[in-house]
Structure 1
Amino acid sequence: MGPCTGIPDEALHASNVDTASRESGIAGIEQSGWKIGGWRGPEYAITVYSTARTVDQFENKPGNVDFADVTITGRSGRRFRVAGASKHLNCNIVFPAQQGVIQLQVLVRAALDNPPDPCEILARIGENLVPWFPE
């Protein structure tokens, strides 16, 4: 899956991100072994990653914490956060897929006075985006 091209604009608009802000890779640079697409909105940024890695590899990676089972639009995944200073600003879900996993990430803007819970945002926008992820 090419995350930057596999999700329709309507799903991105419904997720409150600007389709014109689309960026492939990390800071526009492609990453070996990953396909990455990201978009920004007024309160948060979302990134979708596609990789051959496994859910177990994410669970065993140092710094990935607070794992929990979740289901979004009938699809099971594992929610987690990345430890560190911005732990309360990020939330991720990895979904098993034929090629490995699809990861959906929300990063809330640190400059907000009262930042919303990124995992609540992730659950909400997942309803719009997860149906477009490959099985």
Structure 2
Amino acid sequence: MDFGHRRLGERMTSRGSKLRGIALVVGVGLVLAGCEKTTDGAPTGTGASSASSSAKPSGSKDPDAAIWDPCTALPDDALRADELNPDTRTKDIARFDPTGWKVCAWRSTAKWYDLGIYSGEPTLQQVRQRQDLESVVPLTVGGHPALRFLFADDAEKRLDCGVAVEVPQGKAAGTVAFLVTTRYSIGKLGDPCDQATRHANDFAKYLPGGGN
């Protein structure tokens, strides 16, 4: 699976509309899409999954039930304390059915960036092997192995930055990625990598397996 348009809160530009990826899931050509409009300053998804793609047979088990869900796991008080606006919560920012992932995003109270949290099954090693990432740096987040990265098409301007953290997703290893994206309409008013690292560390105690 590839992360797609990572702009969460405003109309995509030609740079932002390029497809990017962090991890591959075999057999799934799924592309997450950013938002093309905002409502009262909050990120708004461009489209929802069709009923046919998201519907599950009656009585069937949810295959994604074991995946940690950032939308429900992070309390509003914790979001506010970490300078995020809980009222801007946007769930499953996707143009297609995001099978294998749970996604949530918020606007920062500083308003110059959005934070998207992508929780899924790809391993940290798969993230490390991505060819569209640069300046990949190993970290430890709450006792979990982690990687900080830039996107190859953004390595010079450094408008966006992510931190992927290895966590248990059910019985298997997976990752939770914290992705900070600068809003074009405001511009960069800080270091996106500092913000991504800060959010990852601050929310580590809510991740699967907890945090030190």
How high is the TM-score relative to the length of structure 2? 0.58
- How much has 1:28 moved relative to structure 2? 7.7
Query: Which segments of structure 1 move beyond 6 Å, counting only runs of 4 or more?
Result: none
Query: Could you tell me which of 88, 91, 99 is aligned with 1:32?
Result: 99
Pick the structure with more strand per residue.
1
Counterparts of 1:47 and 1:113 in 2: how far apart (Å)?
A: 17
Residue 116 to residue 54, structure 1, CA distance change in 2 (3 Å): same
Letter of the 2:126 counterpart: Q
Counterparts of 2:143 and 2:124 in 1: how far apart (Å)?
A: 18
Query: Could you tell me which of 172, 177, 182 is aligned with 1:103?
Result: 177
Q: How many residues align?
A: 135
Pick the structure with more helix per residue.
1
Identity across aligned pairs (percent)?
Answer: 28
Counterparts of 1:111 and 1:55 in 2: how far apart (Å)?
A: 32
What's the Cα RMSD here? 2.0
Matched, 1:10 2:77: yes
> Any stretches of 5+ residues in structure 2 without a counterpart?
1-67
Counterparts of 1:78 and 1:113 in 2: how far apart (Å)?
A: 25
Partner of 1:81: 150
Query: Could you tell me which of 93, 110, 125 is aligned with 2:163?
Result: 93
Partner of 2:139: 70
Deviations along 1:24-69, one digit per CA (max 9) or x if unpaired, are 1115864121110111121211111111111111111221111101
Which protein is bigger by CA-based radius of gyration?
2
Matched, 1:133 2:199: no
- How much has 1:128 moved relative to structure 2? 2.3
Counterparts of 1:63 and 1:114 in 2: how far apart (Å)?
A: 22
- How much has 1:134 moved relative to structure 2? 0.8
Residue 76 to residue 88, structure 1, CA distance change in 2 (3 Å): same
Counterparts of 2:188 and 2:163 in 1: how far apart (Å)?
A: 23
Larger relative contact order (CA 8 Å, sep ≥ 6) = 1
Partner of 1:51: 120
How high is the TM-score relative to the length of structure 1? 0.87
